Amino acid sequence: MGLDSVELIIDIEKYFNIRIKDEDAEGLYTAGRVVDHVSHLLGVDDTNEQLLLGVGEKLALSCNSIYTPALMNEAIAAYINFKDENSVLAIQERLGLPIPYLSFRQPSQKKTWWKKFVPSTSWLDKDWTGVSVRNFLIGVLAHNLEGVIDKNNIRTTFEVYLAVVRITADKVGVYYDEVTWDASFTDDLGVD
């Protein structure tokens, strides 16, 4: 394990207030393996994803669509026009959760004619074309981790997964949707 991997495991241990043995840490090379191991240490075996389904239903309603499990595998770009600031902000309001990667520019005190052509909201170099609805919503939930789960009362493996996604994305500097269940820390996320 490289230094980045060790630091990531330490951050996960601190968040969950657990201790992962060195020999166990060697086998934790994907987010899914970390979630399974941490869930085992916490005694959590409930795989309920109701939190995700609830946000999925809100998104479907926001997009005038009907929620189905198949929706989760579709591309988020088919439902949200990320170039339309008002549309994105309306969906964010309906979800009741801030969407990650929005950058708000502070309005200038000086009014100039060209300001009306410059959007006040922009996306930080994020290409949404290959992102599924599921991974988008996991990103939204991970981004809002403190407001959606109680870290002192983790009840489901999905809550563990959200925390692992947030910790990994923050530590490694990748987008939340890149920290998938099967993503290899070294090969996919660049952790040494």
Q: Which domain holds residue 100?
A: 50-138
In degrees, rounded to 5, the angle at the alpha carbon of residue 172 between the alpha carbons of residues 149 and 32 is 55
Does 186 fall in a domain? no
The 10s digit of each residue's pLDDT in 18-70 is 999 999 999 999 999 999 999 999 999 999 999 998 998 888 888 877 777 88
| Average pLDDT score over the chain | 86
Q: What percent of the chain lies above the pLDDT cut of 70?
A: 87
Does 37 fall in a domain? no
The 10s digit of each residue's pLDDT in 88-99 is 888 889 899 998
Give pLDDT, residue 105: 47
Who's near 182: CB < 8 A, 6+ residues apart? 30, 31, 32
Query: Domain count of the chain?
Result: 1
Give pLDDT, residue 108: 45
Does 165 fall in a domain? no
Does 35 fall in a domain? no
Does 101 fall in a domain? yes
Burial track 4-33 (b if 16+ CB lie within 10 A, e otherwise): bbeebbeebeebbeeebeeeebeebbbbbb
Task: Return the residue matching tokens 């939930």.
Answer: 141
Give pLDDT, residue 1: 63
**Which of 159 and 104 is assigned the larger pLDDT?**
159
Does 166 fall in a domain? no
